[in-house]
Amino acid sequence: MWIRIWALVIKEFLMLLRDKKSRFVIIGPPIIQFLVFGYGATFDLNHIPYAIYNEDPGFASRELVARFQGAPSFQQVAIIDSNRAISPLINQQKALLVLHIDPLFTRNLLRHQPGKVQVIIDGRNSNTATLALSYVNNILFSFNKYWTEAYHWERPPAQLDIRAWFNPNLLSRWFIVPGIVALLMLVVTLLVTGLSVAREREQGTFDQLLVTPMSPTEILLGKAIPGLIIGGLEGILIALVAVFWFQVPFMGSIVALSLGMFLFLLAAIGIGLMISSLAVTQQQGLLGVFMFIIPSIILSGFATPIANMPPLIQKLTYLNPLRYFLIIVRGVFLEGDAINNLWTQYVPLAIIALFSMTAAAWLFRNRV
């Protein structure tokens, strides 16, 4: 039995790797994409373009402006002197925000009265706007703290001290890069397996395979093993790049990650083969793969938290293998999880894998 499976595995690999173009599309792009996306996919704002509209000639406003100019995340693009200059800057996205300082700012501060600062911000990208406003507030906090102490203002009655666990500097790259590892593994595995049966059906060779002495289980294994090997090798490679190139901390256990990868690949392969055996042509196979990949990326918590979704959609995410694997990858990388913390993720993955593999094997025979 193993000899027959082995022969099928070799044949599958030959199909995939014989052609130079198809060899390249399996190996090259995932690595390039990982590097590009690893840098590109970030919520951290590091050059917020802003303009200063300072109507106050006093030294207090200069002190405040200097804090913005010295902040590494802010990049001054213009100094303006009228209200009319604001809208062209923001409309054309030359500046994300304009800092408008009241003419009486210094005078009020010296009288121990609040000085007014207005921030006009482009809300088109609401997430960027929210984050930029919190950066602005941080600068204002530190200015206020300094001013309160230097000029002997009444101290606030209480003080809040905020700290973040697992990711003390709140780098979104630490969150996104492990996510991309999972994402690319899913895409590669599904593309390798998703078209494999559809291609044979379109070319008529699948019927020939069915009349050979091979059982559906053997065909299933022969089709699944190449996906497991390619997906696994790419997963390991990409994870290594995440640690050594992107310097994402790896706090947890390698065994826990490997077990997660194995179960996740099985689930992805099962789904890929299921789609593939339902499809009659490669176009349908591709469409099927897409119809699965896109929702599973959106509803996985990769970029936007599952907790923000409506309750009904949150329930739907329990069907999504990527959801569980993302928790495993991030848990192992950042939170230092080991196998015993992650059973609640492994078990659903194993169930999805078992179900989809069985369904694929059944479909081989019963779908004509």
Partner 1 sequence: MNIQRLRGLIRKEFIQIIHDPSAIGIAFVMPVFLLFLFGYGVSLDARNVPVAIVVDQPTAETSAFIAGLQQSSYFVPKPYSDIAVAERAVMEREVDGILWLRNEFSRQLLQKNTAPASVLVNGVNANNAQILEGYIQGVWQNWLQHYAQDLGVPLAVPAVNQNRIWFNPALRSRDYLVPGLIAIIMTLIGALLTALIVAREWERGTMEALMVSPVTIGEILLGKLIPYFLLGMGGMLFSVLLAVSLFNVPLVGNFWILLLLSALFLLTALGMGLLISSITRNQFVASQVAVIVTFLPAFILSGFIFDIQSMPTVIQMITHIIPARYFVSILQTLFLAGNIWSTLLWNSLALLLMATFFLSMTRLNSRKRLD
**Window 73 to 102, contacts with partner 1 (CB under 8 A):** 90-93, 96
* Minimum CB–partner distance for residue 9 and partner 1 (Å): 18
Q: Which of 136, 239, 267, 357 binds partner 1 (CB under 8 A)?
A: 136
3-state secondary structure 307-353: HHCCHHHHHHHHHCHHHHHHHHHHHHHHHCCCHHHCHHHHHHHHHHH
Rounded Cα distance between 367 and 177, Å, is 40
The smaller minimum CB distance to partner 1, of residues 148 and 365, is found at: 148
The smaller minimum CB distance to partner 1, of residues 208 and 283, is found at: 283
- 134 is a site residue for partner 1 (CB under 8 A): yes
- 167 is a site residue for partner 1 (CB under 8 A): yes
**Window 35 to 54, contacts with partner 1 (CB under 8 A):** 36-37, 39-49
- 367 is a site residue for partner 1 (CB under 8 A): no
- 152 is a site residue for partner 1 (CB under 8 A): no
- 297 is a site residue for partner 1 (CB under 8 A): yes
- The C-alpha torsion from 181 through 18 and 290 to 360, rounded to 10°, is -100
Please give the structure tokens belonging to residue 82. 């009228």
- 155 is a site residue for partner 1 (CB under 8 A): yes
Q: Which of 6, 59, 66, 148 binds partner 1 (CB under 8 A)?
A: 148
Rounded Cα distance between 121 and 320, Å, is 37
| Secondary structure class of 290 (helix, strand, coil) | helix
Q: Of 125-133, 204-212, 221-229, 259-267, which segment contacts partner 1 by CB under 8 A?
A: 125-133
Radius of gyration of the chain (CA): 28
The smaller minimum CB distance to partner 1, of residues 287 and 354, is found at: 287
Q: Which residues contact 278 (CB under 8 A, 6 or more apart)?
A: 284, 288, 363, 367
Q: Which of 14, 313, 319, 338 binds partner 1 (CB under 8 A)?
A: 313
- 3 is a site residue for partner 1 (CB under 8 A): no
Rounded Cα distance between 308 and 123, Å, is 20
